[in-house]
Amino acid sequence: MNVLSGCITGIETGGAISIVEIASGGLSFTTLLVETPESCDYLMIGREVEALFKETEVVIAKNLSGGISLRNRHSATINSLRYGGILCEISLRSDAREVKSIITAQSAERLNLTAGDEVEWLVKANEISIRAPNE
pLDDT in tens, 43-85: 999 999 999 999 999 999 999 888 889 889 999 999 999 999 9
Comparison of pLDDT for 9 and 64, the residue scoring more: 9
Contacts of 56 (CB under 8 A, 6+ apart): 102
pTM for the structure as a whole: 0.90
C-alpha distances (whole Å) from 14 to each of 8, 36, 38, 42, 63 are: 17, 9, 12, 18, 35
* pLDDT at position 134: 75
Q: pLDDT-based confidence at 32, cuts 50/70/90?
A: very high
Q: What pLDDT, on the 0 to 100 scale, is given for residue 123? A: 96
What is the C-alpha to C-alpha distance for residues 116 and 49, in angstroms, rounded to an integer?
30
* Mean pLDDT, residues 1-22 taken together: 95
DSSP-assigned beta bridge partners for residue 129: 52
Per-residue model confidence (pLDDT) at position 50: 95
Q: Look at the chain and report how many structural domains it folds into.
A: 1
**Residue 13 one-letter amino acid:** T
At 15, which CATH number? 2.40.50.100
Domain interval for residue 87? 2-131
Cβ contacts of residue 106 below 8 Å, gap of 6+? Answer: 86
Q: Please tell me the predicted confidence (pLDDT) of residue 135.
A: 61
